[in-house]
Amino acid sequence: MEENNITIHVQNPDGSRTELEAPVDMGLSLMEYLKACEYDILATCGGMALCATCCVDVLEGEEKLNEMTDDEYAMLDTLPDLLPNSRLACQLQLNHAMNGLVIKLHHAE
């Protein structure tokens, strides 16, 4: 793994995990990176924390993430199936602290 990349694991609907190598030197959010990897994320609002279509559930590494903003919390609070570990991927800027993060797409069942 290059020093400008981190490893993120995406849990698939069948329980298996896909390991992704994500760049931290391009200023990408987790949402932008997942879309680039062709995951089914609508991101209707383009990353403005206005639609919650990029919601992910953090399975491991939640303590590595930045604190939730009031805007992110307010948007997540509109979801009927919100989990305590749900976050908006658009609000999570890729950084070295996120190495080893395990997520699943919120809507993927």
DSSP state of 41: -
CATH of the domain at 53: 3.10.20.30
- Residue 32 CA to residue 39 CA, distance in Å, equals 10
The domain containing residue 88 runs over which residues? 5-105
Residue 69 neighbours by CB under 8 Å, 6+ apart: 49, 91
Distance CA 13, CA 5 (A): 25
pLDDT in tens, the chain (109 residues): 568 999 999 999 999 999 999 999 999 999 999 999 999 999 999 999 999 999 999 999 999 999 999 999 999 999 999 999 999 999 999 999 999 999 999 975 4
Query: Nearest Cα to 1, choosing from 15, 14, 20?
Result: 20
Measured in whole angstroms, the distance separating CA 67 from the mean position of its chain's CA atoms is: 14
User: Is the whole model's pTM more than 0.85, yes or no?
Assistant: yes
> How many structural domains is the chain composed of?
1
